[in-house]
Amino acid sequence: MTRLRTDASRSMPKATHIAGLLEKAILNNEYRQGDYLPSQKELSEKFFASSRSLREAFKILEAKGLIEVSQGKRAYVKTNRLDQYVESLSMSMFAQDNPDRKLYSDLLEVHITLEVSAARELSRSPERIAIVKNMESTLDQMSRDLAIIETSGDKDAIQDFQTCDFNFHLAVVGSNDNIVFRSIYNSLSPQLKKIMASLPETLDERRKKVREYGYLVDALRDGLTDLAVAMTLVYTTNLRQKFNSTYEDGRK
């Protein structure tokens, strides 16, 4: 497989990158429940970021219930766990026969959080090789499907590519040993699969996806945690951005 790139984080928006780093610190208890985050001035200097990027990053964290932001006060940590947020989303999804765009967008936020967290833990697991081999097999099938799509545009190959794409994500999240998260994620999986299948995808985008998944497989196999997290954050964020772009007119 193609060897790894080291600049994956450059592909993601500044606010998303900052939110990911702060979320990691909160979930790792570097900032505990009740602690204040550094001031916006301190964070701006630390991340070389504008006030706007920091505000957007805070909105992402606040939407997940991790922090609370009050006018004129520093943001503080509400919780070091995401269970409540994920469970709340799960209940909302099942309470509606036809979930709206906002709920789907929230689902993608949960997906990003869970998959990034799972990739981090998987890269450190001594038992990761078996899971990585399974991911490699899925990726190899995606490459075979891609070759068929390139030559004939076969609909069955496109459908199989989409199924393998979803299974690749599922393999990462399924490696997480948090039983609660896995259970909730499995219950939400049909909705996530529906979203992924509905998004248009060009041939170049499919090629790029296979290439980036290859980078992730290499990073996981070699235990390169920072790169595995960065690559996972890049392609899951791209999924959310594509959803937002496709459904920006408010269609469900």
pLDDT digits (tens, 9 = 90+) for 112-161: 878 888 898 899 999 999 999 999 999 999 999 999 999 998 999 999 99
What is the predicted pLDDT for the residue at 87? 63
Please tell me whether residues 36 and 138 are part of one structural domain. Answer: no
**Chain segment 7-38, per-residue pLDDT in tens:** 444 445 788 889 888 988 888 889 999 999 99
Q: Are 3 and 9 in contact (CB under 8 A)?
A: no
In this structure, what CATH number is given to the domain that contains residue 36? 1.10.10.10
Number of domains in the chain: 2
Q: Which two tokens stand for residue 172?
A: 């990462």
Please tell me whether residues 123 and 41 are part of one structural domain. Answer: no
Structural domain contains residue 139: yes
% of the chain residues with pLDDT over 90: 40
In this structure, what CATH number is given to the domain that contains residue 153? 1.20.120.530
Domain that holds residue 17: 11-81
Please tell me whether residues 169 and 219 are part of one structural domain. Answer: yes
pTM value > 0.85: no
Which of 81, 110, 133 is a domain's end point? Answer: 81
- Top pLDDT among 117 and 45 is at 45
